[in-house]
Amino acid sequence: MAEVGAAPARRLGLPDLPIWLLGTVLALLWGAPFLWMVSTSLKPADQVMTPVIEWIPREITFENYAKVFRYPVLTWALNSVIQAVVATGLCVLFGAMAGYALARLPFPGRRALFALFLAVLMIPSEIAVVPLLLAFIKAGLASTYAALILPQIGNVLAVYIFRQHYLTFPKELEEAALVDGAGRFKIFFTIALPLARAPLIATTVILFTLNWNNFLWPLLVTFDESMKTMPVGMAAFAPVVGTHTQLEGYAVAMAAVTILCIPSIALFLLTQRHFIQGIALGGVKG
């Protein structure tokens, strides 16, 4: 499949000009909340609520960012990184192996297993969050990295994307190695996996984003401030959840969420082609 939504630009005829203008303005409007977020985050406290709307700050200050770091943001960031990197790494590796086997290796129960995976993929994870929480509490594992990571490894999305990839992977590449007497694991790790660059990137960035943004489960399972992830810790800047905004105002809250969204937006912009391709293929979010 060709890249989604990117092709040589077409010339713009005069009759199309009004639609083009409308669409472009809408696109800019769609991005405007981010601009307003950054703009607010750079304003001094007394210039946030001005009588006239000021898109460009009169003077730029980083004091709001300094105030955000009075909260244990670095601890939350470290937790987020550990949780997202480990969970994503394991899910991609195990998912690739499972996807490869489901596409390539005939084994008893293969169809039933894939049907089970697909059935669970259709059930939102939120349904099972309460029993999962109770199990982790009873096992004494609440508020640990294990609690944050373990439930994220079995994300069927990875299996699904890799299976799709390996269904059309040319067999000849492996057959030579098979004739030479190489084992299945050796073939997978030296031939099949290194040649799966596109699904590897797509699955990694999509799962990393999902894990980085994951909200309900970390909110439930982290009781200590020191085990919170970034999205959960920073939710306390919301007026209805915590008291940070009453104390600090919207400028500091905007600085907090600017810090929070930089990694996911940067990752998306860097890998946009693969990211969108993977989303179009998987058709699944969160």
Partner 1 sequence: MRAEGSGWQAAGGARRDWTGWLFVAFFTLPFLLFNLAPLLFGVVLAFTEWGIIGDPVWVGTANFEQALADPWVANAFWNTFLYACTIVPGVVVFGLAFALFVHQRWPLSTLARTLFFTPNVVSATVIGLVWVWLLDTQFGLVNRYLAWLGIKPIPWLTSGDWSLIGVSIASIWWDLGLAFVLFLAALQDEPQELHEAAAIDGAGRIRRFVHVTLPHLRPTISMVVTLQIIASMRIFSQVYVMTNGAPHGSSQSVIHYIYQTAIVQYRLGYASAVSVLLFLAILAVTVLQRLLLRERAGG
- Residues numbered 199 to 228 that lie near partner 1 (CB under 8 A) are 209, 212-213, 215-216, 219-220
Residues in the chain, total: 286
CB-based contact 128:134 (threshold 8 Å):
no
Q: Please tell me the distance from the alpha carbon of residue 10 to that of residue 165, in angstroms, as a whole number.
A: 31
CA 120, distance to chain mean position in Å, is 20
Single out the residue of 65, 161, 237, 248 in contact with partner 1 (rule: CB under 8 A). 237
Q: Please tell me the distance from the alpha carbon of residue 284 to that of residue 176, in angstroms, as a whole number.
A: 36
The residue (of 200 and 253) whose beta carbon lies closer to partner 1 is 253
- Pattern 131-150, partner 1, x by CB under 8 A: xxxxx-x------------x
Single out the residue of 14, 26, 56, 74 in contact with partner 1 (rule: CB under 8 A). 26
How would you class 223 by CB atoms within 10 Å of its CB: exposed for 0-12, middle for 13-18, buried for 19 or more? exposed
- The number of beta carbons lying within 10 Å of the beta carbon of residue 169 is 16
Task: Provide the 3-class DSSP secondary structure of residue 105.
Answer: coil
The residue (of 66 and 105) whose beta carbon lies closer to partner 1 is 105
Single out the residue of 104, 144, 191, 201 in contact with partner 1 (rule: CB under 8 A). 104
CA gyration radius, the chain: 23
Residue 256 interacts with partner 1 (CB under 8 A): yes or no = yes
Residue 35 interacts with partner 1 (CB under 8 A): yes or no = no
The minimum distance between CB 229 and partner 1, in angstroms, equals: 9
Single out the residue of 42, 68, 84, 97 in contact with partner 1 (rule: CB under 8 A). 97
Single out the residue of 68, 84, 102, 202 in contact with partner 1 (rule: CB under 8 A). 102
Residue 128 interacts with partner 1 (CB under 8 A): yes or no = yes
Size of the site for partner 1 (CB under 8 A): 116
Residue 198 interacts with partner 1 (CB under 8 A): yes or no = no
The residue (of 34 and 69) whose beta carbon lies closer to partner 1 is 34
Q: Please tell me the distance from the alpha carbon of residue 162 to that of residue 141, in angstroms, as a whole number.
A: 31
How would you class 13 by CB atoms within 10 Å of its CB: exposed for 0-12, middle for 13-18, buried for 19 or more? exposed
Residue 107 interacts with partner 1 (CB under 8 A): yes or no = yes
Contacts of 96 (CB under 8 A, 6+ apart): 158, 162, 193, 196, 199, 200, 203
Residue 238 interacts with partner 1 (CB under 8 A): yes or no = yes
Q: What is the DSSP letter of 53?
A: -
The residue (of 66 and 139) whose beta carbon lies closer to partner 1 is 139
The residue (of 71 and 250) whose beta carbon lies closer to partner 1 is 250
Residue 247 interacts with partner 1 (CB under 8 A): yes or no = no
